[in-house]
Amino acid sequence: MADTPEKKSRFRRKPKAEKASKEPGRLAQIKQVYQQTQAQDPNLTWILLLAFLVVFGVFLLIGFAIGHPVYLGLIGFMLGLIAVMFLLGRRAEKAAYGSIAGTPGASGAAMSSLRRGWMYEKEPVAADAGGRTRSVKDIGNAAMVFRAVGRPGVVLVGEGPKGAAVRLLKSESRKVNRVAGPEVPVHTLRVGTDGDAVPVGELTKRMGKLDKKLTKAEVDAVTKRLRALGGAKPPIPQGMDPRNPKSARMDRKALRGR
């Protein structure tokens, strides 16, 4: 009797090599980061080259001075590469913040880099466009407030036109005080480029420097109270993502914690 062909399973695991081939390697990822950063920072190549040459040159000179140029040169070469990678990461982060500065929802995007221990909402908890928002273009002139809860307490971050953002922050602060209680600190920050505003690239650093007043259990309890609050929906048309004016759909995952 002839052998019947073996039936292939629909759920057969793919070989590891096949899975890995679909994911970009480490060098490909570094190249992609470099290209994206260079588009925002034209002097990136010269800055990285200078950093490498300074580190390598210092160790090479020390090696000649003590009679071990090869040994110290190899160490300098490796440390030079580390310095380049560190500097590339910093410049890439700066370029990323620079690309979103001034765009609606920049504060929410910046909060995605908060360290573990913070609970933040991806969508604004309040917005004011100075009237009923009828189109995507109106969002660019809207004031928005984003909220995060961590060991320092509740942090409200406003963006948009200064007057409207300040009023919205005061209103949201009173609401949070009523729900969370007077023992929970409420901090207000405004993102912008004028004198008393915080640049979007400095937002998470400013939040990280706030004094810690709450325990982890208290952070969880306050987060649950504020989530139960609900509150009025921002005056944004249904199906519109305030962080992406070109988007026609709203991200339904409103909360994301770390």
pLDDT digits (tens, 9 = 90+) for 34-79: 888 888 788 889 999 999 999 999 999 999 999 999 999 999 999 9
Query: Domain check: are 128 and 191 in the same one?
Result: yes
Query: Domain check: are 95 and 115 in the same one?
Result: no
CA distances from 84 to 24, 57, 152, 172, 183 (A): 21, 14, 34, 44, 46
Query: Domain check: are 130 and 238 in the same one?
Result: yes
Mean pLDDT across 143-168: 91
Q: Provide the sign of the torsion angle of the four alpha carbons 190, 193, 198, 201, taken in this order.
A: positive
Q: Give, to the nearest 10 degrees, the angle between helix 69-100 and helix 26-40.
A: 60
Average model confidence (pLDDT) across the chain: 78
**Inside any domain, residue 126:** yes
Report how far residue 191's alpha carbon sits from residue 180's, in angstroms, rounded to the nearest whole number. 24
pLDDT for the residue 217: 92
Domain count, the chain: 2
Domain of residue 161 covers 106-257
CA distances from 97 to 37, 40, 53, 123, 194 (A): 11, 10, 28, 18, 17
Report how far residue 62's alpha carbon sits from residue 109's, in angstroms, rounded to the nearest whole number. 45
Query: Domain check: are 84 and 125 in the same one?
Result: no
Task: Specify the DSSP element, H or E, that contains 199.
Answer: none
User: Which band of pLDDT confidence, cut at 50, 70 and 90, is reported for residue 238?
Assistant: very low
Query: Domain check: are 85 and 113 in the same one?
Result: no
pLDDT for the residue 189: 93
Query: Domain check: are 229 and 151 in the same one?
Result: yes
Strands 119-121 and 255-257: antiparallel
pLDDT for the residue 13: 55
**Inside any domain, residue 7:** no
Query: Domain check: are 44 and 151 in the same one?
Result: no
User: Which band of pLDDT confidence, cut at 50, 70 and 90, is reported for residue 140?
Assistant: low
Judge whether residue 247 has pLDDT over 60. Answer: no
Query: Domain check: are 84 and 163 in the same one?
Result: no
The residue among 52, 82, 100 that closes a domain is 100
The residue among 77, 100, 123 that closes a domain is 100
Name the more confident of 138 and 27: 27
Report how far residue 102's alpha carbon sits from residue 97's, in angstroms, rounded to the nearest whole number. 10
Q: Which amino acid is at 160?
A: G
pLDDT more than 70, % of the chain:
74
Report how far residue 123's alpha carbon sits from residue 255's, in angstroms, rounded to the nearest whole number. 8
Query: Domain check: are 235 and 213 in the same one?
Result: yes
Is residue 231 a contact partner of residue 175, using CB atoms and an 8 Å limit? yes
**Inside any domain, residue 57:** yes
**Inside any domain, residue 205:** yes
Q: Residue 18: which region, alpha, beta or left (left: phi > 0; alpha: psi -120 to 50)?
A: alpha
The residue among 70, 100, 130 that closes a domain is 100
Tell me the backbone φ, ψ of residue 208, rounded to 5 degrees: -70, -20
Alpha helices (H) along the chain: 16-22, 26-40, 44-66, 69-100, 106-111, 136-139, 162-180, 203-208, 216-229
Query: Domain check: are 90 and 118 in the same one?
Result: no
**Inside any domain, residue 2:** no
Query: Domain check: are 126 and 199 in the same one?
Result: yes
**Inside any domain, residue 114:** yes
Query: Domain check: are 42 and 124 in the same one?
Result: no
pLDDT for the residue 12: 55
Task: With CA atoms as reference, report the closest residue to 146 among 127, 174, 170.
Answer: 127
**Inside any domain, residue 24:** yes
pLDDT for the residue 200: 86
Residue 7 DSSP class? P
Q: Which amino acid is at 198?
A: V
pLDDT digits (tens, 9 = 90+) for 85-110: 999 988 887 877 777 776 778 888 88
pLDDT for the residue 251: 41
**Inside any domain, residue 5:** no
